[in-house]
Structure 1
Amino acid sequence: MHVGFFFMLTCHVLFVVKQGGWAVGMCPMHERVERVKHTGGCHCGAVRFDVWSSPDLLVFDCDCSICTKKQNHHFIVPENQFTLLQGLENINTYTFNTHIGKHTFCSTCGVQSFFTPRSNPDGYGIAPHCLDPGTVRSVTVEKFCGQKYEETMKNHPNIRDLSKPVAETHTVEVGSLHTP
């Protein structure tokens, strides 16, 4: 398993320790930052991806018309933290209304493992139930009122920030960490 550390360009890692199988970086100007490499995909395996995100997921439960129909729950990551490993030729896209959101799904099995949300067109919404087991530590679900989209976006404190690119990436192999 790989663990990445994401800091602002001015940040320096003070130390790295292994805690309960997770690597943690500490930064003097920022709070503890922790990211893991999740892998996942659709049901048939044609679409596979990896994504760097916290092991503690903030998942949105949206009640807009399409999310209600497909029971969409998702967490948001910046575009530069997502890599499609295989299956581009198997992905179909559905759009409606503003056509900003791109609802992608596997043309073989029909599963939507990721999509481009209207709220964060510069990122991806990842379906946590499509992640492979072993990298998620906890899930917190937050209701998102998609039926009143404009009002919800205006009042949400930080949803647009969730897809801002991460400035710098440091990756270490967990097995190679040595603790004093």
Structure 2
Amino acid sequence: MMHTYVGGCQCGKVRYEMSGEIGEVIACNCSRCGKLGTLLTFVPAENFKLLSGEDATTLYKFNKGIIQHRFCATCGVESFANGKAPNGAEMVAVNVRCLDDIDLDSLNVKKFDGKKY
């Protein structure tokens, strides 16, 4: 059974919900994630709904430009990003640090060496 989580940026302009199970989260060390300290979970795009703030987000692309990093133009928090899975399916990377009422200490964190890619 899928759980629905709600989250967003620090100032509250960007709000969203995602459906899924958060078993393992990714701690990537690429030049962006490593500096931001994100903990990521990935959901199919159809399991993500932006509730508010589409006009409040700013887009940033780097490296190969295939991930659309979206952050709040007011508070600067990147709470999610859009991209594609290796099989081509539309995915959303959600920063679980931005989900409401998440116990971060209960998460299983897997390190990903994004510096290689």
Using the size of structure 2 for normalisation, the TM-score is 0.88
Alignment counterpart, residue 71 of structure 1, candidates 32, 37, 45: 37
When you count strand as a share of all residues, which structure comes out higher? 2
Gaps of 5+ in 2: none
Distance 1:38 1:82, change over 3 A: same
Q: Are the counterparts in 2 of residues 37 and 135 from structure 1 also a CA contact under 8 Å? A: no
Fraction of identical pairs, as percent: 37
- Other structure's SS at 1:111 match: coil
Larger gyration radius, structure 1 or structure 2: 1
| Cα displacement string for residues 110-165 of structure 1 (whole angstroms, at most 9, x for unaligned residues) | 111111256567101111111111698x411101110112xxxxxxxxxxxxxxxx
Q: Are the counterparts in 1 of residues 38 and 97 from structure 2 also a CA contact under 8 Å? A: no
CA deviation after TM superposition for structure 1 residue 96, in Å: 1.4
Root-mean-square deviation (CA, aligned residues, Å) is: 2.1
Gaps of 5+ in 1: 1-33, 150-180
Alignment counterpart, residue 82 of structure 2, candidates 104, 116, 140: 116
Using the size of structure 1 for normalisation, the TM-score is 0.59
Paired residues in the alignment total: 115
Partner of 1:148: 116
The higher relative CO (CA closer than 8 Å, separation ≥ 6) is in 2
2:3 is aligned with 1:36? yes
CA deviation after TM superposition for structure 1 residue 83, in Å: 0.1
Alignment counterpart, residue 130 of structure 1, candidates 93, 98, 110: 98
